[in-house]
Amino acid sequence: MYKNVLQSIENIAIWPIISFVIFFVFFLCLLLWVFTTDKKFIDKMKSMPMDDSSLKEENLNIKL
């Protein structure tokens, strides 16, 4: 049943191509960002979950 419904849609073959192109462009942009990002930024983001100073700053901003 679904096969007949999809076959009745005109130009249905273009949608898989469009989705592949969107995925490919996104993947290339992501690779470009990864290889061009500053290493200091990566190290800073990497250490943030274990950094106690960010917690102290947040606690200072909370007013009870």
At 10-44, the pLDDT tens digits run 888 898 899 999 999 999 999 999 999 999 988 88
Taking the whole predicted model, whether its pTM rises above 0.75 is answered as no
Q: What is the DSSP letter of 9?
A: S
Placement of tokens 């679904």 in the chain: 2
The tally of domains found in the chain comes to 1
Give the pLDDT confidence of 43-54 residue by residue, as tens digits.
888 888 887 765
User: For residues 46 and 42, what is the distance between their CA atoms, to the nearest angstrom?
Assistant: 6
* Residue 6 contacts residue 12 (beta carbons within 8 Å): yes
Residue 16 token pair: 């898989």
User: For residues 52 and 31, what is the distance between their CA atoms, to the nearest angstrom?
Assistant: 31
Going by pLDDT thresholds of 50, 70 and 90, the confidence category of residue 58 is low
Domain carrying residue 32 = 2-61
Residue 38 token pair: 């500053």
